[in-house]
Amino acid sequence: MARRIAAGAAYGGGGIGLVGAAAVGIFLAEVQLAKRSVGGGRAPVPPPADGIYGMPPPGPGRPADPPLRLAMLGDSTAVGQGVRRAGQTPGALLASGLAAVSERPVEMRNVAQPGAQSDDLERQVTALLTDPARRPDVCVIMVGANDVTHRMPATQSVRYLASAVRRLRAAGAEVVVGTCPDLGTIEPVYQPLRWLARRVSRQLAAAQTIGAVEQGGRTVSLGDLLGPEFQANPRELFGPDNYHPSAEGYATAAMAVLPTLCAALGLWPETDRLDAARDEGILPVAEAAAEAAAEAGTEVTAARAPWALLKHRRRRRLPTPTEPATPDAARG
């Protein structure tokens, strides 16, 4: 049961099911009311961002490097709902950053679905793996918020995620999971429901960390969408519906995920050597999951069982967002 919903004792209790059905029902009603009264309707869904990023300039006699293949899976956060341009989505931002670091073109494919819960990951993984010639080198999964708001049991949610990570790893792909964001940062939600939303979100994030790491993936805690600046500037980092991130919010999240994405492919200049000055260490996986859930932007990577590496990688600025090129254009 993902260590009893992953070190729930760190938050003073057990799993999501122990919060209480009545309290959860009140919270959900409050969230829906807040979205209707403050959000002003649905956030826009950006145009498709699939394509090639970081195409090198043509050169005589220079062989073309084959593109790295990046896939995005998950819910509306992975799609980039809330922005209007393809280049502002997390997939485009991560593909552009990965191309800059690797000095190779990156082909990005997004199979995420707005509104998806973790049970949709099975379909998304199947879509990615159907064509062996297009199987990804690395995948980013961002999912969990809808599991909380739709009251999916946490054990079930983690089981779906772990299965997805296991299938992708078996197919040869590296996997980075951006764990459940902190729904307590939604601006129209007030206390005590803000506290409840934060508690439930962190418990699921910790459980997701254990489930993903034990299947060979890496995780980055999205928490309050990665940084104290999110709470300090909610109107800048939330989108027009006050629920999905803005372009600045997605860029903040992408900056935190990119170092782990590159490290998974062996491209990041930092190694997995730990830096005690940055509060990094080797911890039991359940303890590492609980600490990561409490501090946004923290990476957890498997070590020798039952241990895990807890890291705080240095972020770098992303390149200027670009629009994708088609695969045909990349082939010249």
C-alpha to C-alpha distance for 144 and 149, rounded to whole angstroms? 9
From its phi and psi, is residue 127 left (phi > 0), alpha (psi between -120 and 50) or beta? alpha
* Catalytic (active-site) positions: 76, 241, 244
Dihedral, CA atoms, 148, 123, 90, 56, nearest 10 degrees?
A: 170
The rounded distance, in Å, linking the Cα atoms of 55 and 326 is: 10
DSSP 1-25: -HHHHHHGGGGTS--GGGS-HHHHH
- d(CA 332, CA 319) in angstroms, rounded, equals 24
CA–CA distance, 251 with 256 (Å, rounded to integer): 9
First-to-last C-alpha distance (Å) of the chain: 50
Q: Rounded to an integer, what distance in angstroms lies between the CA atom of residue 277 and that of residue 59? A: 45
CA 199 – CA 177 distance, rounded (Å): 20
- What residues form DSSP beta bridges with 71? 109, 139
11-20: long-range contacts, CB 8 A cutoff, minimum separation 24:
11/199, 11/202, 11/203, 11/290, 15/154, 15/155, 15/203, 15/207, 16/148, 16/153, 16/154, 16/200, 16/203, 16/204, 17/153, 17/154, 19/196, 19/199, 19/200
227: left (phi over 0), alpha (psi -120 to 50) or beta: left
Where does the chain show beta strands of DSSP type E? 51-53, 68-74, 106-110, 138-142, 174-178, 218-220, 281-284, 299-302, 307-311
